[in-house]
Amino acid sequence: MAQRLHLVFGGELVDPSKTAFKNIDDLHIVGMFPDYASAYNAWKAEAQRTVDNAHMRYFIAHLHRLLDEERATSSTEELGA
């Protein structure tokens, strides 16, 4: 089975309705994960920890897609749909 690397990161946004970070130098890199399930759990923990700050947002980057750009994937493939 191929590795499916995921990066979880986040930071404070300029505007909560957009995805531009207020300060790139202050990004919080949560970590690199070998599968979507563990990345999702880390993302959820950070999102819940910062729930009181509407400008704080965390994301999951699907790094494995950068390694295989030829392969088309759906946004729900990671969830088994």
Segment of 40-49, 57-66, 70-79 carrying the highest mean pLDDT: 40-49
Domain boundaries, the chain: 6-70
Instruction: Give residue-wise pLDDT tens across range 24-59.
Output: 999 999 999 999 999 999 999 999 999 999 999 999
What is the second-level CATH architecture of the domain 6-70? 2-Layer Sandwich (3.30)
Q: pLDDT-derived band of residue 66, with 50, 70 and 90 as boundaries?
A: confident
Rounded Cα distance, 43 and 9, in Å: 8
Higher pLDDT among residues 63 and 32, named by residue = 32
Smallest Cα–Cα separation from 27: which of 52, 7, 10, 5? 10
